[in-house]
């Protein structure tokens, strides 16, 4: 017969949950290293990292939040191709080339027969290697249907940067930066959007180099559907006074640009939705530019090169914003510990374009480790072993 005076054994149970108990939120063992409020080199604290990994975005279950501009029927996804006016600038900030229209309506006014826009713009806010993409139409049929499109991808390693700043800026509506950037821009559709306070400016300051770097900056932007030889040949043709299409002329100027300003339409009522989006995107470029692609894994194990064979991919817990399921340990019905058992994948590059070969190799290692961990979780009925990492303590 049990001794009634003996201390009671605590009741220990485990349960799989898709929503982490509030008592454990933000208490991962790796939180200090992987989820800092600011990067250690951000001495001026200009780039708060909370929008990336904390608050309402802490356990979103995907790599990027589902940002939308506007509400109700006017709501549009932030990540989409947008008509754009792109102005190339020299080192003094002077405009040396312009292409495109900032909105569908301005394009239709310029080309009432349905001629498609020559340039489009998109921000891809993947957390571990964000980039800006431009789509440029080089050739068309008489009907206006594109025959050939090329893509320019500006990854974070092509932006000018320092521990204090990074070469990407966003502004809109009546922000002072918009008015300053328009001083040398002679483009009536852009001016009209600015006057209507519906203009979105993205300004990029580039740091070109032909030597890509695995960590941090100094890789040239990438091109898709056009070769370096074609660009060099077009540059020589332009120098010799030969006639080129507007699209190819722009490609030539873009290939040596020091900076560019991208103007696109921001719908009415979208500004309150766009501000949080910019607060999320800019720190991504800042971290990636200064640390390199896959910065989360660099923070997790800072003393081992992420491209080394010794990097312990299987030991590193998944970023908490990817997790969709946990195994929670309860003691007397109180949650005391949680281990991730299911999580989403990091966003992929659909066009197969990577900032450098090291990033591609690293992501292959990450994908393999992710696959092994997920299979192991299913095989053990949900208890994922991360060798002591990736757990929460209440």
Residue-wise pLDDT tens digits, 71-90: 887 788 999 999 999 999 98
pLDDT in tens, 326-340: 999 999 999 999 999
Average the pLDDT over 126-141 and give the result: 91
Q: Which two tokens stand for residue 71?
A: 């509400």
Band (259; pLDDT cuts 50, 70, 90): very high
Band the pLDDT of 186: cuts 50, 70, 90. confident
**Tokens 């080309």 identify what position?**
111
Give 345-353 contacts, CB < 8 A, sequence gap 24+.
345/63, 345/370, 346/63, 346/126, 346/127, 346/128, 346/319, 346/322, 347/63, 347/64, 347/124, 347/126, 347/127, 349/126, 349/129, 351/151, 351/224, 353/151, 353/153, 353/222, 353/224
Mean pLDDT of the chain: 86
pLDDT of residue 173: 80
Residues 162-176 have pLDDT tens digits of 999 999 999 998 899
d(CA 368, CA 364): 6
DSSP 3-state of 355: coil
**What percent of the chain has pLDDT above 90?**
58
Q: Are 326 and 338 a contacting pair, CB within 8 Å? A: yes
Taking the domains of the chain in order of start, what are their residue ranges? 12-66+294-393, 68-291
State yes or no: pLDDT of 386 exceeds 50.
no
The predicted pLDDT at position 228 comes to: 94
- Residue 313 and residue 365 in contact, taking contact as beta carbons nearer than 8 Å: yes
pLDDT tens-digit readout, 194-241: 888 889 999 999 986 544 444 444 578 999 999 999 999 999 999 999
Per-residue pLDDT, averaged over 362-387, amounts to: 64
Question: How confident is the model at residue 377, as a pLDDT?
Answer: 62
Q: How does strand 85-89 pair with strand 168-172?
A: unpaired
**Residue indicated by tokens 């080394």:** 308
Residue 177 corresponds to which tokens in the numbers above?
Answer: 């930066």
pLDDT mean over 288-300: 95
Residue with tokens 């507007």: 246
| C-alpha to C-alpha distance for 119 and 96, rounded to whole angstroms | 16
Residue 385 has pLDDT above 50, yes or no: no
| Gap between the Cα atoms of 361 and 343, Å rounded | 21
Which residue did the predictor score with more confidence, 147 or 44? Answer: 44
Mean pLDDT, residues 46-68: 95
Angstrom distance (rounded) from CA 92 to CA 153: 23
- How far apart CA 49 and CA 70 sit, in angstroms, is 24
């Amino acid at each position: 017969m049990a001794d009634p005076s003996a201390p009671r054994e605590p009741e220990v149970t485990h349960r799989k949950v898709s929503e982490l108990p509030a008592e454990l939120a933000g208490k991962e063992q790796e939180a200090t290293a992987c989820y800092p409020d600011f990067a250690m080199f951000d001495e001026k604290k200009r780039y708060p990292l909370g929008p990336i990994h904390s608050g309402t975005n802490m356990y979103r279950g995907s790599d990027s939040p589902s940002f939308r501009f506007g509400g109700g029927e006017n709501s549009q996804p932030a990540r989409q191709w947008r008509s754009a006016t792109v102005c190339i600038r020299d080192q003094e900030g002077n405009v040396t080339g312009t292409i495109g229209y900032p909105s569908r309506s301005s394009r239709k006014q310029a080309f009432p027969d349905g001629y498609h826009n020559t340039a489009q713009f998109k921000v891809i806010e993947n957390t571990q290697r964000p980039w800006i993409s431009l789509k440029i139409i080089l050739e068309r049929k008489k009907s206006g249907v594109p025959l050939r499109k090329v893509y320019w991808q500006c990854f974070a390693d092509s932006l000018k940067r320092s521990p204090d700043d990074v070469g990407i800026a966003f502004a809109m509506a009546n922000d002072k930066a918009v008015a300053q950037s328009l001083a040398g821009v002679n483009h009536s559709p852009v001016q009209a959007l600015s006057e209507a306070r519906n203009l979105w400016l993205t300004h990029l300051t580039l740091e070109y180099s032909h030597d890509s770097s695995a960590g941090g900056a100094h890789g040239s932007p990438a091109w898709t559907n056009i070769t370096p030889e074609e660009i060099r040949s077009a540059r020589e043709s332009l120098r010799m006074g030969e006639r080129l299409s507007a699209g190819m002329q722009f490609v030539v100027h873009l290939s040596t640009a020091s900076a560019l300003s991208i103007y696109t339409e921001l719908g009415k009522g979208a500004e309150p939705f766009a501000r949080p989006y910019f607060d999320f995107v800019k720190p991504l470029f800042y971290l990636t530019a200064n640390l390199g692609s896959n910065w989360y894994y660099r923070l997790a194990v800072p003393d081992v090169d992420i491209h080394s064979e010794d990097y312990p991919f299987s030991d590193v817990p998944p970023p908490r914003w990817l997790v969709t399921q946990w195994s929670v340990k309860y003691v007397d019905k109180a949650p005391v510990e949680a281990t991730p058992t299911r999580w989403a994948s990091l966003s992929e590059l659909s066009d197969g374009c990577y900032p450098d070969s090291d990033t591609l190799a690293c992501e292959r290692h990450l994908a393999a480790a992710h696959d092994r961990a997920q299979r192991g979780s299913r095989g053990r009925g949900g208890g994922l072993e991360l060798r002591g990492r990736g757990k929460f303590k209440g």
